[in-house]
Amino acid sequence: MSLKVLPATTLDALYRVVDDRDLPDEVRGDAPGLRLRMSSRHRVPRAESTVTNATGC
């Protein structure tokens, strides 16, 4: 397996550094202090679905 290195600008375009305050306590663990993590900048948009009521057939 060969490893490939991406330029830092590519990673900056894909991810941002955020703190872990938005995560639940179970995920953050017991370590005190502020911890940083990577969060994706882009999300795949969800198609809006409409709910239709069942009609008598």
pLDDT (tens digit per residue) in 1-57: 788 888 889 888 999 999 988 888 888 878 788 888 888 888 878 777 777 776 655
Q: Which helix (H) or strand (E) holds 15?
A: strand 15-19
pLDDT in the model for residue 56: 57
How many DSSP H helices and E strands does the chain contain?
2, 2
Rounded CA-CA distance 10/39 in Å is: 14
What is the structure's pLDDT at 8?
86
Residue 57's pLDDT is what? 56
The closest of 15, 20, 46, 17 to 31, measured between CA atoms, is 20
pLDDT at 55: 67
Q: How is residue 1 annotated by DSSP?
A: -
